[in-house]
Amino acid sequence: MIATHPHSRSVLITGASSGIGAASAHRLAAEGWRVFACARRAEKLERLAEQEGIIPLVCDVTDADQVRAVLDEVSEAGGIDTLINVAGGALGTESVAEAEPEDWRWMFEANVMGTLNTLQAFLPMLRAHGHGTVLNVTSTAGTVAYEGGSGYNAAKFAQHGVTGALRLEEAEHNVRVLEVLPGMVHTEEFSAKRMRGDAAAAAAVYRGVEDPLSADDVAEVIAHAVSLPHHINLDQITVRPVAQAAHHKVIRTG
């Protein structure tokens, strides 16, 4: 059970139209938070906003101008004390020798530059609040490299590095910086996009794995982390299914 914060809490969640972002929006809104749900796809956001407490904001976080427009809307609505960066993704499983540079550019824009844009826009607000929180959802791919993961590894290693530097820089402003590093999470879109719409290849990622994590599982961890008293900083939370002991060891049955 997540403890109820004694005061009203407000959060901006990027990548909120599906997967971990959407699950986190639902979870925090159910816990009484005011949730600004930010994503590119208006139709998915509108369905998400059917839940009380969720305010949809259409925005591509790789576009700094759009992020600044969201900042204006959030400011007019009273601001936030918490920023959760979920937007990102993987594209392709090619080796370094065969990788498409455009795929790498997309991954850096989505995972790294999108995070930078929201941080630069909202850090002044979080500092002014006095008890601000940033939580970046990175990946275990940001700490351990693996074959076929080079582009995603590179982007997530970069996002992981940004998060570590940010924690050092913002401590003097009493902004706590948390990082959640999920391992194998079975969501409806992540592997499908990575495999360029090849449903069979996407399904094979999870075949035989007993109880891979769900988006709701990760959302539970996120909600717990940001709901703790502000002086408690969970620097890095690695979360994996039991069947995934490490990147190189995944138990598959059948």
* Tokens read off for 39: 């994503």
Beta strand pairing status for 82-85 and 10-14? parallel
Classify residue 235 by burial, with Cβ atoms within 10 Å: 0-12, 13-18, 19+.
Answer: exposed
What letters, b where the CB count within 10 A reaches 16 and e where it falls short, cover 139-169?
Answer: bbbbebeeeebbbbbbbbbbbbebbeebbee
- Which one is catalytic: 152, 162, 182, 225? 152
* Tokens read off for 65: 């101008």
Q: Which residues have a Cβ under 8 Å from the Cβ of 170 and sit 6 or more positions away? A: 123, 127, 132, 134, 176, 177
Distance CA 145, CA 141 (A): 6
Do the beta carbons of residue 128 and residue 111 sit within 8 Å? Answer: no
Residue 146 a catalytic site member: no
Comparing CA positions, the residue from 46, 67, 66, 93 lying closest to residue 198 is 93
Q: Which residues carry out catalysis? A: 152
